[in-house]
Amino acid sequence: MTIMQIVYAPNAIFKQMARPVDKIDDEIRGIAQAMAETMYVEGAVGLGANMVGVDRQIVVVDLREGGMKNPYIMINPEIIEYSAETDDYEESSVSFPGISAVITRPSNIKMKYLDLDGNEQILEAGFPLARVIQHEVDYLHGIVYLDKLSKMKRDLLVKKMLKHMKMYPPHVHGAHCHHGKH
């Protein structure tokens, strides 16, 4: 099991557009698998590749409905339709520890992506899957959920996050970890 290190804000990688994947090979499949394992260890429901320091368009999502692991691994994900209907819901991120905010997003989406075999997939999703996918795909486009807030609210939350990180330093994965060694 390979666990990747979460990149924490503030970090310039969150303002960059991730590069498309040109070829799905064993390296890309390995990155995607390690991202999924990291997502589970971190207790997250999704990760964009830049959240683990990888400048590629890869997203992993798993709502673990019914307690079962059923990850979506999406290469070069592209949302091609958004519903006019929206909903508000509280979002957070493992890259922005200790804070959350209510964000308005389209309720339903239609998207296309490549699976790990390079086959194009079309997915129509509603709440909550659509919300998680939008959150993670935004990361690949240099957008974090705090960007959807007013500057004043965003600045307040970043200050709160930095205070939280000082009080509770984020875990750094390394040789001393026992993740998955049961």
pLDDT tens for 26-38 read 999 999 999 999 9
The residue among 8, 20, 160, 148 whose CA lies nearest residue 91 is 148
The single residue of 37, 42, 91, 136 carrying the catalytic annotation is 136
Residue 41 lies in a domain: yes
Decide if 172 contacts 2 (C-beta within 8 A). Answer: no
Please indicate, yes or no, if residue 180 is contained in any of the structural domains: no
Please report, for the chain, how many H helices and E strands are present, in that order.
Answer: 3, 7
CATH code for position 62: 3.90.45.10
Q: Given this model, what pLDDT does residue 55 score?
A: 97
Q: Would you say residue 128 lies in a domain? A: yes
pLDDT-derived band of residue 63, with 50, 70 and 90 as boundaries? very high
Give the mean model confidence (pLDDT) for residues 60-86.
96
Give the mean model confidence (pLDDT) for residues 73-95: 97
Q: Tell me whether residue 3 is in a domain.
A: no
Domain range for residue 79? 12-167
What total number of domains does the chain contain?
1
Position 126 scores a pLDDT of 96
Residue 86 lies in a domain: yes
Look up 136 and say whether it is catalytic.
Answer: yes
State the pLDDT at residue 179.
Answer: 62
9: left (phi over 0), alpha (psi -120 to 50) or beta: beta
* pLDDT at residue 81 greater than cutoff 60: yes
Query: Is residue 147 included in any domain, yes or no?
Result: yes
Give the pLDDT confidence score for residue 58 in this predicted structure: 98
Residue 142 domain-assigned (yes or no): yes
Residue 172 within a domain:
no
Residue 178: which pLDDT band, with cuts at 50, 70 and 90?
low
For residue 65, pLDDT beyond 70 = yes
